[in-house]
Amino acid sequence: MYCQVIVDIAHEDVDRVFTYRIPDGMQLEIGMRVHVPFGHRKDIEGVIVEITDTCDLPDARVREIKEALEDYPAVLPELIGIARYIKAHTFCTLSQALRLMYPAQMRGQRIREKKQQAVRLLLKDAAYSEGLARQKRAPRRYAILEELNGAEGHELLVSELCNRLGNCRDALRALDTAGAIEIYTRELQRKPYNEIEALSEKDPVLTEQQETVLSQILPAIDKGSGQFLLYGVTGSGKTEVFIRAVRHTARLGKTAIVLVPEIALTPQMVAWFRSRFGEDAAVLHSRLSAGERFDEWRRIRRGEVHVVIGARSAIFAPLTNIGLIIIDEEHEQSYNSDTTPQYDARVVGQQRCISSNAVLLLASATPSMRSFAMAGRGDYTLLEMPQRVHGRPLPDVHIIDMRRELTMGNKSVFSAQMLTGLTHCIESGKQAILFVNRRGFATFVSCRNCGYVVHCEHCDVSMTYHSVGNTLRCHYCGQEAPVPETCPKCGSTHIKYFGIGTQRVEDEMHKLFPNVTTLRMDNDTTQQKDAHAILLRRFQRKEAQVLIGTQMIAKGLDFPDVTMVGIVAADAMLNLPDYRSAEKTFQLLTQVAGRAGRADAKGEVFLQTYTPEHYAIQSASRQDYRAFFEAEMARRRQIKYPPFTVIVRNIYESLDEEKVHVSAQSGFDLIQAFFDRRQYLQKYIVYLRVMPCPIYRIKDKFRWEVLLGIIDIPVCEEAVGKMSEISGIPIENVAVLCQINPSSLM
Ligand code: ADP
Ligand code: ZN
Ligand code: ZN
């Protein structure tokens, strides 16, 4: 017997199968990881992707498999198919795609099951009394037998016995030799959620909307096919729909994956699911330790759970017999991986559904442009939940024009109106959330008097302020401009770069309300493991009345006592140099506003902005997704951005400033030469440029990029592949990374 192996080397030259002979008596299956000799190296890890009876190569040239690394296939056959799909669509090697399928620490065997030694009593009844009598003169052995006889199941951990009786390993060995007991190792499972109180929630009576939606989803699960986009406003009760659909799937003996964005995978969310599924659910997310992750993965692999809840990479959970894949907050950019392999969890999910006859359910209060457009084309069945549970009203949103505040002499971060709302909320003993968008580092220049923002003359994005050289630069075309001293529109001198951070808001809060307790949640305060969870729990327990935070507080949280939400500066996101800034702003504002008034009290949202007329702000204030979608699609079509185009970005990084520039330039020349040879592709190019990255230096490394925008039609895939291939050419001391539709263009 022979097998075809993909060796675990991420290099295009070896990106194919290699044939090995299976030694007599070795039991191997497709998907098992093995050690094989490779070139002059003695053992390299690999994955078996095929087993055959015959082999075309002369026998002398075929080497033998050395050993299997596990006694089960680490990669399910279905997931080998998915890996092949990812290789074909993201231009990575098959070995890289296969690495997605099992915990990283299994490579190089950096992690193992945690084993414990235990002892079991073998003597029963009369034999026990006899055995005990025989040990009369050996008090330690005598005690061991007594302890075991009294223990549940007649077994105990060795560590536990030693705790009770002192070191008794010699006595144990003697008893083992005598055949009175058996010493064995058993696996210890690391459980990531011991600390969470398992709430046992009762099932609520479904609302009419939930019933209607489920009446379409459940039959599809029975049938084993269907792709849905569930568009439900915040608070419409989507989670309950998920739970019922998952339970239905489990009843059919099938399994389900529920993907949620990493930051929404709060202990709240996990506890909620576990309260309904208990041991039947496994959780995978990046805050798990390597050991916990490995143990959860193996629990899933052994078929001990029906449901897996997790962030992006949980889409590769080794479940068999999948009946349902749910992707909550499907618009989240974090479902796109930015590092190789650059897969999109939504696309992988769709593929797994097709190969397993499962139902795909995407859900969001603010669907992505792409998914809503696909639903419009009929690729997905659109399901809608336009009302909140029990007719709870959507919050009132007050748009506050910050340009007027300035003319009235208010230079504080709070407008008069927001301050009134905040005071009212605090005095009535309710809770408030203040949202500050301080993401990334790019800043833009705006006029505090009229709201004017410096935009590029050639592109529909704001220009980015670079403190080095004190200039503005367009990130899309490279155009540079000086920072204006007076506003070109109104002549005011109050024109400068923008940026309010969480710290500044908290300071001002303390000045205005010295007796009010606040919590701050941002990158600085959530560095430690579980910090996120602890802060949220404190807020939930009302240890603080006001929560101040960045986008990490925007999603999925359900605080019944929050009646006021303040958005301190809606513009910070609107003016990021990113074609998706309007979409992101709309999503964020809608999600944040959705935090207010979740229980019985009506919520109020105060939204401060310098551009109150912007369509993203207007439609978000009315939670009018459709109006936003129409306006944004029209703009995207006109300026040729995704979903009409694909953006490919090759980033060059090096400590050597000269070299990184030269390397990027030659990468650019290569792609240009490629297009010169393929005239028919040229008309699809929207832009092709080489320039320094907006963040020019990170960790002492200088950064350049080659940026390609091309119409998203099949014939152009070749160009995307070429960019990827160019990025794979090794350059000494320069790292090159290829990103396709990257989530950030910094
Ligand atoms: P969404 O995810 O759509 O924003 P949630 O699933 O968080 O909304 O639901 C909003 C609130 O409504 C939650 O507090 C949830 O417990 C509650 N809820 C959902 N369905 C029902 C129901 N059928 N009856 C009563 N309460 C419900
Ligand atoms: Zn102005
Ligand atoms: Zn430009």
- Backbone dihedral angles phi then psi of residue 97, each to the nearest 5 degrees: -65, -35
- 3-state class percentages of the chain: helix first, strand second, coil last, to nearest 5: 40, 25, 40
In angstroms, what is the span from residue 414 Cα to ligand 2's centroid? Answer: 20
Q: Is residue 286's pLDDT more than 60?
A: yes
Shared-domain flag, residues 99 and 119 = no
- Among residues 708, 694, 696, 703, the alpha carbon closest in space to that of 659 is found at 703
- For residue 108, count other CB atoms closer than 10 A to its CB: 9
Ligand 1 atom nearest to CA at 206: 23
- For residue 11, count other CB atoms closer than 10 A to its CB: 12
Residue 746 covered by a domain: no
Q: Which of 301-305, 467-471, 533-537, 693-697 has the highest mean pLDDT?
A: 301-305
In angstroms, what is the span from residue 588 Cα to ligand 2's centroid? Answer: 26
Mutate to test the pocket of ligand 1, among 201, 202, 208, 240 (most ligand atoms within 8 A of CB): 240
Structure tokens at 34: 């093995």
- Among residues 694, 710, 704, the alpha carbon closest in space to that of 731 is found at 704
- Among residues 513, 510, 442, the alpha carbon closest in space to that of 473 is found at 442
Shared-domain flag, residues 31 and 93 = yes
- Long-range contacts for 413-417 (Cβ within 8 Å, ≥24 apart)? 413/500, 413/504, 413/505, 413/508, 413/568, 413/569, 414/508, 414/512, 414/566, 414/568, 414/608, 415/606, 415/608, 417/606
In angstroms, what is the span from residue 400 Cα to ligand 2's centroid? Answer: 17
Residue 708 covered by a domain: yes
Mutate to test the pocket of ligand 1, among 246, 389, 562 (most ligand atoms within 8 A of CB): 389
Instruction: Looking at the CA of 266, name the nearest ligand.
Output: 1
Instruction: Looking at the CA of 453, name the nearest ligand.
Output: 2
In angstroms, what is the span from residue 598 Cα to ligand 1's centroid? Answer: 9
Q: Are 145 and 180 in contact (CB under 8 A)?
A: yes
Residue 453 covered by a domain: no
Percent of the chain with pLDDT over 90: 45
Domain C-terminal end among 109, 135, 167 = 109
Assessment of whether the complete model's pTM goes beyond 0.95 = no
Question: Ligand 1: which residue has its CA nearest to atom 19?
Answer: 237
* pLDDT attached to residue 18: 94
* pLDDT attached to residue 494: 84
Task: Characterize 371-398 residue by residue with b for buried, 16 or more Cβ atoms within 10 angstroms of its Cβ, and e for exposed.
Answer: bbbbbeeeebeebebebbbeebebbebb
Q: What is the mean pLDDT of residues 432-458?
A: 76
In angstroms, what is the span from residue 568 Cα to ligand 1's centroid? Answer: 27
Residue 585 covered by a domain: yes
Structure tokens at 124: 């029963």
* pLDDT attached to residue 187: 65
Residue 361's contacts (CB-CB under 8 Å, 6 or more residues apart) are: 217, 228, 230, 242, 245, 324, 325, 326, 327
Q: Is residue 441's pLDDT more than 60?
A: no
- For residue 649, count other CB atoms closer than 10 A to its CB: 20
- Among residues 600, 415, 395, the alpha carbon closest in space to that of 423 is found at 415
Distance CA 12, CA 727 (A): 12
Mutate to test the pocket of ligand 1, among 210, 234, 239, 362 (most ligand atoms within 8 A of CB): 239
Residue 133 covered by a domain: yes
Shared-domain flag, residues 351 and 215 = yes
Question: Ligand 1: which residue has its CA nearest to atom 10?
Answer: 235
Shared-domain flag, residues 183 and 238 = no
Ligand 1 atom nearest to CA at 392: 12
Instruction: Looking at the CA of 214, name the nearest ligand.
Output: 1
Q: What is the CATH number of the domain that holds 182?
A: 1.10.10
Domain C-terminal end among 109, 138, 166 = 109
Q: Is residue 577's pLDDT more than 90?
A: no
Residue 199 covered by a domain: no
Cα→Cα distances 50→26, 101, 547, Å: 15, 17, 55
Q: Are 672 and 629 in contact (CB under 8 A)?
A: no
Q: Are strands 33-38 and 41-52 parallel, antiparallel or unpaired?
A: antiparallel
Q: Are strands 471-473 and 480-482 parallel, antiparallel or unpaired?
A: antiparallel
pLDDT per residue over 329-353, tens digit each? 999 888 988 788 889 999 999 999 9
Quote the Cα angle for 276-281-287, to 5°.
110
- Among residues 414, 397, 435, 439, the alpha carbon closest in space to that of 574 is found at 439
Q: Is residue 745's pLDDT more than 80?
A: no
pLDDT per residue over 657-716, tens digit each? 999 999 999 999 999 999 999 999 999 998 899 998 877 777 678 889 999 999 988 888
* Number of compact structural domains in the chain: 5
Shared-domain flag, residues 182 and 166 = yes
Q: Which of 363-372, 405-414, 466-475 has the lowest mean pLDDT?
A: 466-475
Shared-domain flag, residues 349 and 270 = yes
For ligand 1, which residues put their CB under 6 angstroms from it? 204-207, 210, 232, 234-240, 389, 558
Distance CA 229, CA 703 (A): 39
* pLDDT attached to residue 525: 76
* pLDDT attached to residue 440: 36
Q: Are 141 and 104 in contact (CB under 8 A)?
A: no
Domain C-terminal end among 109, 137, 169 = 109
Structure tokens at 540: 């939930």
What Rg do the C-alpha atoms of the chain give, in angstroms?
A: 30
Residue 130 covered by a domain: yes
pLDDT per residue over 462-486, tens digit each? 787 766 677 887 766 677 888 888 9
Structure tokens at 174: 């003697």
Q: What is the CATH number of the domain that holds 577?
A: 3.40.50.300
Shared-domain flag, residues 557 and 704 = no
Q: Is residue 92's pLDDT more than 50?
A: yes
How confident is the prediction for the chain on average, in pLDDT? 86
Q: What is the CATH number of the domain that holds 23?
A: 3.40.1440.60
* pLDDT attached to residue 329: 92
- Among residues 506, 623, 616, the alpha carbon closest in space to that of 568 is found at 506
What is residue 696's DSSP assignment?
E
pLDDT per residue over 143-196, tens digit each? 888 888 888 888 888 888 888 888 888 888 888 888 889 888 776 655 554 444
Shared-domain flag, residues 514 and 382 = no
What is residue 357's DSSP assignment?
T
**What is the domain extent for residue 26?**
2-109
**Tokens 């309300």 found at:** 513
| Cα 670 from chain centroid (whole Å) | 34
Shared-domain flag, residues 508 and 632 = yes
Task: Characterize 399-422 residue by residue with b for buried, 16 or more Cβ atoms within 10 angstroms of its Cβ, and e for exposed.
Answer: bbbbbebbeeeeeebbbeebbebb
Q: Are 725 and 91 in contact (CB under 8 A)?
A: yes
Distance CA 667, CA 680 (A): 21
* pLDDT attached to residue 476: 66
* pLDDT attached to residue 111: 67
Shared-domain flag, residues 409 and 336 = no
Question: Ligand 1: which residue has its CA nearest to atom 25?
Answer: 204
* pLDDT attached to residue 526: 75
Question: Ligand 1: which residue has its CA nearest to atom 9?
Answer: 237
Question: Ligand 1: which residue has its CA nearest to atom 24?
Answer: 204
- Long-range contacts for 507-515 (Cβ within 8 Å, ≥24 apart)? 508/412, 508/413, 508/414, 509/434, 509/546, 509/548, 512/414, 512/419, 513/422, 513/426, 513/546
pLDDT per residue over 413-428, tens digit each? 899 999 999 999 999 9
Q: What is the CATH number of the domain that holds 662?
A: 3.30.70.600
Distance CA 275, CA 267 (A): 12
Shared-domain flag, residues 129 and 238 = no
- Backbone dihedral angles phi then psi of residue 692, each to the nearest 5 degrees: -70, 145
- For residue 728, count other CB atoms closer than 10 A to its CB: 15
* Residues linked to residue 740 through DSSP beta bridges, in sequence order: 648
Question: Ligand 1: which residue has its CA nearest to atom 1?
Answer: 235
Shared-domain flag, residues 400 and 380 = no
Residue 703 covered by a domain: yes
